[in-house]
Chains A and B, each alone.
Chain A
């Protein structure tokens, strides 16, 4: 029973365009969401997070949108750069716990 789902295993975009990575969750008790980026042979690197009291959080080229009614969040990267090519994981937690529940990841490829 996957509580956090990333339904697209891969995504390919052109440099300079927008990348949109999607994530759905089933547990309505989740109240904190994070995105991590992972390069091969490295640990996940924190990118951006959002609390359930917000519907948008922006940090430079990265913006996360949260739609609580749809139990859906998305990560927008604008403009996309070749260095953004990595696996992106969506994660969620609830009630002050730091136990993260991860999706399976989406491999983003940004073509020059």
Chain B
């Protein structure tokens, strides 16, 4: 039990639609990161939020966007869904601010695009 909760756990969307995934970080954690894990691959960094500001972005197009709220919970939004967006989306939280902090992951949201 990491204290990081994600919703929904599973969902199916149609190509071209939009999706919003949600994450509640562990208490006391002000940094949230999102990762995409395709089948047979390791998680790929999408972006990170620190105190409500985007603080680093991986190699993902602008149709992947996010928000962090004052309570440090977060959303990942994906517009114009494509079949290749089918993956496990992982949220991770940490205390932030320095190297060496343990990063805790939620159980993920499985997205299938048909």
Contact = CB atoms under 8 A, between A and B. Distances in A.
Contact of A98 (B2, B43, B96): B96
Given A42-B107, A46-B103, A99 B42 contact: no
A69 interface: no
B57 to A, nearest CB: 9
Interface in A41-61: 41-46, 49, 51
B99 A96 contact: yes
A104 interface: yes
Contacts of B98: 96
Task: State which size class the interface on A falls in.
Answer: 20 to 34
A105 B58 CA distance: 20
Given A43-B2, A102-B42, A104-B42, A34 B99 contact: no
Contacts of B8: none
Contact of A101 (B6, B45, B100): B45
B42 A89 contact: yes
A45 B105 contact: yes
A68 B29 CA distance: 31
A93 interface: yes
A98 B103 contact: yes
A104 to B, nearest CB: 5
B99 A93 contact: yes
Nearest to A105: B42
B107 A41 contact: yes
A25 interface: no
Interface centre among B33, B40, B43 (most CB of A within 10 A): B43
Contacts of B72: none
Contacts of B105: 36, 43-46
Interface of A: 4, 6, 31-32, 34, 36, 41-46, 49, 51, 89, 91, 93, 95-105
10 contacts: A6-B42, A32-B100, A46-B103, A51-B100, A97-B56, A98-B48, A98-B99, A99-B45, A100-B103, A102-B42
Q: Enumerate the 4 nearest inter-chain pairs by beta-carbon distance, A residue then B residue, closest first.
A: A102-B42, A43-B105, A96-B99, A43-B107
